Every structure is written in structure tokens, then in C-alpha cells.
Structure 1
Amino acid sequence: MRLTSLGHAAVLIETDERRILVDPWLTQRLDRFWEHHPALPDGLEKVLDGGVDHIVFSHHHFDHHHFPSLTRLSEDGEVDFDDSPHRAAETECVFPVGQVPPRFTASGLGHQAIPWTLRRLGFERLTPVTPGDTLHLGDVVVRTFVSNVPFPEMSVLIETEEAVVMLCGDSILHESTVRYFEQPDVRPIDVAFVPAHSVSPPGVLTERRPLTDPDAVRARAVANFDRYVSTLNAAVTVPSSFGWKVSGDGEQDYDWCNRTIFPFTPWEALSRLDELGREGLLWGPGQILEVAGGKAELRNGPQIPGGYDFEAVYAEVTLDPDAEVPAFDPERDRTGRQTRPSHRLLTEVMERIVGTDFWYRALDSGATHTISLHDDNGSTHAYLLEPVSGRISHLGAGPARDHLSQDNGYTEIAASTLQALLDAELLFGSSYGLWASNSNLLSAVFHHPAYYTRQVDRALSQQAGRA
């Protein structure tokens, strides 16, 4: 079995009969804030020339189910002018589904839209899987395992006659997985790709809260890693699914994120494996791992063995307990350009809040919300939003928190950022550092399926522009 790292959780698996791609994110930048770290080598995408037989998605989040990457996979640049340039119809897509009601989650929008997205992008062979199921892909047996999260997510065990490989993505270890590997007749794992961090300090990235008790957060991450390692008991463990960092595309400096949100890096996890007496290795984008006969060895590929200084790479994203988390400032933490007046933007928000969970709760409670917009002209004004009546009242100058009443939620945001969100130019889940709120008003609006579909349509229009 031949494995090629495409960065983060993306792996190309090649067996005698099949080419399987897991969790494709194939562009250097994910969106406005996230980028591959280490960077993808130039020309790495050529390893996918000729297409793949199967794409396996561990879950729906944008760094594992990336629309622009999927549009690239749906095309074949090698065909003649009189042939069809699309190969998506030939590729089988495997993805998890749940038995609980659909739920929208941050950064990845709605998991229930995966099949809609794939069909919209031209993929026709769809295989939904309930985590825990087993399926056969040619000479490959794929066993799936549920993640301990409230949405459909799975890790996968890839078995051929020559090798057994476990890819955990960034799943959280579930008790059913522990029970499976306690069985006496389970084949031993040759290589396990285990998430080095499945937890991060709460509220730091999303709410700009200062670090609290970083030692406890790190201890929890180490404990999660240790339990994975002991459960899977692989011959070789690769600390993985840690292939990105925060890097804004504007003038703002968001390096503080990289010093405050990662409690346990792969470099630290490699040292931990040594302490545990376990064999481990690190790999990066473009590196190839050959697995056979119970052994795993790095081979020459687009990036040679030893091509990365992993100690230096992960030093850039090592938790610093003394790092400061700067206060949110809508004047500084912003994107885009405002071309519509603030009242018009808020009217659009009120139109889109109808039918959301936020709106239904407001119907019961009569709750209101205070929001302040920082305009491009430098002024800041606060407004009272009444979801039940649809009324918008101007409260005066200054931030929202200066105008709060009892049990009144607040949001502060630059008007240009709000406009970018409304126009689907900015994916809400990647807008960390751009807004501050103690409520889910914006989350309710921008996790609505209408915005999911607009992001897919945006990827398709960009694909058309490349054609």
C-alpha cells in the first residue's frame, strides 16, 4: 500500500486495484484565514492526474470537504477537446450520515448537505455510510468507526492483504472503537494516523477570550492522544491531521492565534511516543509512505524523506501560555468594503433570520438583540433588533455593549465584514477574529442552507472562470 500526504488530513491511498483519496483540501489556502502548514509543494496536485476511484470524507467541515478542491477533482485536464472534461461521474464518494436530526455546526455548515453538494459538483456515485459499517472497494476493505461528536463523523480502517492502516482524521475516540480493538481476532495495525490535537482552549479563537489554565488543556490533549495510541496499538503511529495555521490575507496580524489554540503539536506528540516506548514518525505534504509486511518506510516522492524540519515547522504553532489574546476591535478586525448603508445591511439580516432557530426562540421569549456596526467612514452606531416584530431601532453612537438591557444579546462587527458575509464572499465559519458576540444571531443566519448553497455556487462560478 502506497500513501501520499497531500497535507492536513488529505491522503492518497494506492493499492493494486484502487486509488482512494481521503478528505481532500488541495489548495494552499483554505479561505481567508487558514492555510496549509507546511505549505504544499509546487505541482503536488499532479499525483492526482488520471483521477481517483473513490473519495472518502470523514466529515463535513470545510478543511475535509472543500468545495474548490472538489471542483478541481471533477475535471480532467488531460482530455482532448472533443472529449468530456468531467470525470466526477466515474468517482465514488463515501461519506458519513447519522441517525439523529440534522444539525448545523460552525466552520463546516450543515452536514446534511454533503450529498446535495456532491451532486451539484457533478459527482453521481454517492455511498452514504453509517459510521460502524464496513464496505468493500475492490481489493480494499474499509471499516468505519464513529467519532464522539454530535454530528456524523468517522475514522476509517483500510485493509488489504498486505497492509492495515488506520486514518483517524480529527475524530474524537469513541468507546465503540475501544471495544472493537479489544477483540482478540482483530488484525494488528501497521500504521495509525492519530490526531495530535482534537481539543483547543475554549473561546480563544471564536470569542477572543484570554487563555485560562493552558496546562489543563494540554493535559487533556495529551490524554486523548495517549488513549488513541494505546487503543490502536499500531506498529507505527503518525501524529497527524495537523496541517494548517491561521494566516490572514490582509494587513492584520493573526499570529497570536497560532500561539494560543494548539495545545499539543505533532512534534510534541512524537516526543510523547518516545516516552511511551512507541515507534512514530512525522510526514508532510508530498511525502510517500510504503506500507507492507508490517513495516512502514518513507520513500522518495514530490518531497523527499527528511525534506521537512518538523521541529521548526511546529515551533511556529506551539502553545505559549504567556501569549496575549488581543481585544477584538471591529475597526481593525475587518474585511471587504462597505457599499450599502448600515440600515440596509441590518434589514437583510432581519429578513434572513426568519425561520432560523434564533427566530423561533425569540418568538417564545420575546428576546431582542443589540448590534453595532463600524462603518467605513469611521463611525460606530448601535441598533436594537426585534426579531418578532422585525423592527430595527437606532440606539445611538458607540459599541453595542454600551446599550445593553437585561438579557439582551449583543454583536459587534464591521459593516464591511457583515456585507461580505451577506454577499457570500466570506464563509462565516472562517470569520474568526472578525466579530464578537455573546449570542448566535449571526451563526443562525449564516449557517442557514441558503448560505451553504451560495458557497457551492461560488466555487462553481470560480471553476467556470478557470475554464
Structure 2
Amino acid sequence: MRLTSLGHAAVLVETGTERILFDPWLTQRLDRFWEHHPPLGDDLVREVLDEGVDYVVLSHHHFDHHHFPSLRRLVDGADVDFDDSPRRSTGVTCLYPAGPVPPQLTASGLGHQAMAWTLRRLGFERLHPVTPGDTVTLGGAVLRTFPSAVSFPEMSVLVETADASVMLCGDALLHEATVAAFRREDAPRLDAVLVPAHSVSPPGVLTERRPLTDPDAVRARAVANFDRYVASIPAAVTVPSSFGWRVSGEDGHDYDWCNRAMFPFTPVQALRRLADLGRDGLLWGPGQVLEVADGKTALVDGPVGPDGYDFEQVYAAVTLDPGVRVPPFDAAADRVGRQTRNCEDLLRELLDRLVATDYWYRAMDGGAGRHVVSLYENPGGESSFLLDPVAGRVTRLGAGPARSHLTGAEGWTEIAASTLEALLSGELLFGSSFALWASDGVLLSAVFHHPSFYTRHVDRALREASGT
């Protein structure tokens, strides 16, 4: 078995009979906010994928794994109509998780029900939904899938051939069913496992611009998660994975503080931890190749050689610094887009789009959910408004930030009017909007994590790409 890294969680697996592409994010930039680190060049992508792929496996629905601009590049012709029927099809089969977790419309990311819809919009017709826990036979390879301990469909995948066995865990959180599977007497033999070496950022760093308060505790949680993975899945070689990005905004802002405040556990630190635990491990980057056969796993010559990266230097740029200054949110500076509509109209549309979300249902049932939103107008300063989902009413409170107008149990959000307009129009995907507002609630998440928002964004982007 031959595995080639395309950065982050994207991996091409060649079994000798199939070419299987996992979690393709194939552009240098993911969106306005994130980019590959180390860099992923177009020439490298073309070289690695020159012979095409037979299967695409998507571990879950998040944009860095189910990246529709990258998927679109894989479709033969990539010529898509807009009546939900593609003009051109592709021979690639897409496998993705579907259930057993029920739909949660405000779950993180794009909303898992959009996966099949998006794939068909892009021109893929051979869709194979998989319930995590199922086994899929492709021909020369068997895929054994395992669930993730999250509230949306996600899976780890074990690829087995006659001479090799490799497990790719993507971003999955370790599930008890996975732990139990590897405790049994007939547990799968693993030559190599790709384990996530990342973690959730310290609380409130991006959403409320909170300074780091207990970095040691955050790091300890990340290490404990990694240790549990390593102890539960006893592979001959462990590869810290799904960490191949950094924050690098397109808008001229300096976001380096994010890279020093978000990542408590890097692959370099994970490799050291493996040594402490007496386990063999290695690191790899875009263009590097792993050969797995006869119980051995090794880096071999490929588009990028085995010594092609100085990982100490690479990951030094994204290592948690307890002394980093987290700048306070400033709507006058931390904004994107151009405001063309008045604030009341924007907030009335926001309330309209809140309808039928979990947030809206909770407000209807409990009679609460009132939220103070301040919008920075350029020019014009900052004005605050009270949003009442139960009454469906927007009330102007006056000048100043939201927090200065709180009187009780209301939540608050501060954002530039231009940023809100860009989100509402689909110009800005929610995932690329980090650091562009501050809030103590989930009002914006309820609207812009909803699948209906993502489907609007897909339609808009596809129309732009096709020039219609």
C-alpha cells in the first residue's frame, strides 16, 4: 500500500487496484482565513492526482474535509447545471457517513444533510452513504469504518489489503465502539494509524477574544486525548495527522496571534509524546510518500523526499505561546466586505433566517432568547439593537457597543455591519469568519451553521465559478 500526503487530512491511498482519496482539500487556501501549512502547490496536486482517483472518502462534513471547490476539480468537465441535475457525470464513487446520528440542523460546519446534495450538485452520481460501523469491499481493499464520539455523522476508516493495514482517523473523537473493537481477541492488525494531533482552541479565544487563562490545562486535555488514542489503537507506527494549516488572512490583517493562541498540541509535540510512551511514530507533509507492506512502514522517495521538511521549524509557527496577547475585538478594524444596506434591514433578515433553528425553537418554548447586537457602520460608529425572536422585533437601543446596553439575561454580539451583510449574502462562509465578531451566545451560529445557509453559499459559488 502506498500513501501520499496532500496536506492536513488529505491522503491518496493506492492499494495496487484502487486509488482512494481521503478528505480532499486540494487548494492552498481553504477560505479567507485558513491556508495549508506546509504549503500545498497546484503543481504538486496535479502530479499526485495525474492518474485520477477511483474513490473519494469523506470522513465528515466540515469544510476542510468536504471542501467543495476541491471536489469540483475532481469532476470530469466540472460542468454543472442548476436544476439539481449535472450535465456531466464522473466515474468517481464518493463514500461518506450518513447516520446513525439524527440530523442536528445547527451542528458544527455545513450541516451533514448537505453532503449528498453538494456532491450531486458538483456532478458526482455514484454516491455510497455509509453508516459508521459498516464494512465496505471495494475490490482489492476492504474499508472497515468506525464511529466518532460527536453529534453528527463522522467516521474513521481502516483500509485493509492483502499486505497492509492502515487506519485513517481524520478528526474523529475516539468512540467507545472503536476502543472495544481493538480490545477483542480478533482485533484488526494495524501497520500504521493516522491519529488527529489537534484540539479545540482554548475557550473564547476567537469568539470572545478572551486572553489565555490556563494554557497548561488546555495542553493537558490535548495530551490526554492523544494518549487515549495511542493506548486504544496499537499500531506499529503512529502518524500524528490532520494538522496541516495555519491562520493567514487575505485581507491584510495580522492574524499571527491566532496561531500562537489556538493550538496547544502540534504534531512535533505529539511525536515527542510517542517517544515518551515507547511507541514508534513519524511525521510527513504534502508530497511525501509512505510505503506500507509486510508489517513495515517507511517514508520513501516521492514528489517530496523523506527529508523534505524541517518539521521543528514548520510547527514552531503554530505553537501555543502562553504569553501571546489576544487583541480585543474592534469592529472598526476587524471587518470584511462593504455595507450597502441599513442596519435594521440586516437584522430583520437575520431574525427571519433564525426561524426554525434550534435557537428559535428554544426561544419560542422558553419565551427568552433576546439578544443585543451592536453593528459598526463605516462611517457612522457603533449602534446597538435588541433582537426579540419571540416578538420578531428589532428595536434600536442607541449608540455604543452591545455590552453597554445589557439590562438582564440578554446575550450580546458585536460585529461590523459589512461583515453581517457578507454573511447574509453568502459572500463569506461562516468557517472563514473567525475573529470577525465577539459574542457570548450562539445567535450567529444558529443561522450560519444551518444547512440552508450552506446550500445558498454553494449555489452562489458555483454560479460565480461558471460565470452565470
Structure 1 residue 3, shift from structure 2 partner: 0.6
Structure 1 residue 199, shift from structure 2 partner: 3.7
Measure the CA separation in 1 of the matches of 2:77 and 2:310.
Answer: 34
Distance 1:124 1:6, change over 3 A: same
Aligned to 1:82: none
Measure the CA separation in 1 of the matches of 2:31 and 2:105.
Answer: 19
Structure 1 residue 297, shift from structure 2 partner: 1.9
Aligned partners of 2:56 and 2:94 also within 8 Å: yes
Letter in 2 for 1:453: T
Instruction: Compare 67-76 and 14-23 and name the one that shifted more.
Output: 67-76
Structure 1 residue 119, shift from structure 2 partner: 1.1
Measure the CA separation in 2 of the matches of 1:445 and 1:452.
Answer: 10
Q: Any stretches of 5+ residues in structure 1 without a counterpart?
A: 78-84
Aligned partners of 2:100 and 2:132 also within 8 Å: no
Measure the CA separation in 2 of the matches of 1:238 and 1:101.
Answer: 32
Distance 1:106 1:37, change over 3 A: farther
Structure 1 residue 76, shift from structure 2 partner: 5.0
Aligned to 1:30: 30
Measure the CA separation in 2 of the matches of 1:234 and 1:110.
Answer: 33
Aligned partners of 1:41 and 1:303 also within 8 Å: no
Structure 1 residue 30, shift from structure 2 partner: 0.6
Structure 1 residue 106, shift from structure 2 partner: 5.8
1:301 aligned onto 2:302: yes
Identity, in percent, stands at: 68
Measure the CA separation in 2 of the matches of 1:253 and 1:61.
Answer: 25
Aligned to 1:325: 326
Measure the CA separation in 1 of the matches of 2:55 and 2:460.
Answer: 25
- Alignment root-mean-square deviation, CA: 1.8
Aligned to 2:81: none
Aligned to 2:3: 3
Aligned to 1:43: 43
Q: Any stretches of 5+ residues in structure 2 without a counterpart?
A: 79-85
Distance 1:318 1:438, change over 3 A: same
Structure 1 residue 87, shift from structure 2 partner: 7.1
Describe the SS at the equivalent of 2:207: helix
Aligned partners of 1:51 and 1:87 also within 8 Å: no
Letter in 2 for 1:390: G
When normalised by structure 1's length, the TM-score is: 0.94
Measure the CA separation in 1 of the matches of 2:300 and 2:235.
Answer: 20
Distance 1:249 1:185, change over 3 A: same
From 411, 414, 433, the counterpart of 1:412: 414
CA deviations 1:146-180 (Å, max 9, x no partner) are: 11111111111000001000111111111111111
Aligned partners of 1:131 and 1:146 also within 8 Å: yes
Measure the CA separation in 2 of the matches of 1:253 and 1:106.
Answer: 29
1:140 aligned onto 2:134: no
Measure the CA separation in 2 of the matches of 1:410 and 1:207.
Answer: 10
CA deviations 1:412-448 (Å, max 9, x no partner) are: 1001100100110111133111011122221122223
Distance 1:389 1:224, change over 3 A: closer
Aligned to 1:80: none
Alignment of 1:233-382 (within 5 A): 233-367=234-368, 368-382=370-384
Instruction: Compare 160-169 and 178-187 and name the one that shifted more.
Output: 178-187
Alignment of 1:36-185 (within 5 A): 36-46=36-46, 47-75=48-76, 88-104=89-105, 108-185=109-186
Instruction: Compare 182-191 and 140-149 and name the one that shifted more.
Output: 182-191
Distance 1:160 1:178, change over 3 A: same
Structure 1 residue 390, shift from structure 2 partner: 2.4
Aligned to 2:462: 460
Measure the CA separation in 1 of the matches of 2:206 and 2:76.
Answer: 36
Measure the CA separation in 2 of the matches of 1:42 and 1:95.
Answer: 25
Aligned partners of 2:261 and 2:321 also within 8 Å: yes
CA deviations 1:1-38 (Å, max 9, x no partner) are: 11110110000011121010000111111111111011
Measure the CA separation in 2 of the matches of 1:394 and 1:58.
Answer: 44
Distance 1:449 1:201, change over 3 A: same
Distance 1:89 1:41, change over 3 A: closer
Instruction: Compare 318-327 and 30-39 and name the one that shifted more.
Output: 318-327
Measure the CA separation in 1 of the matches of 2:140 and 2:441.
Answer: 50
Distance 1:303 1:439, change over 3 A: same
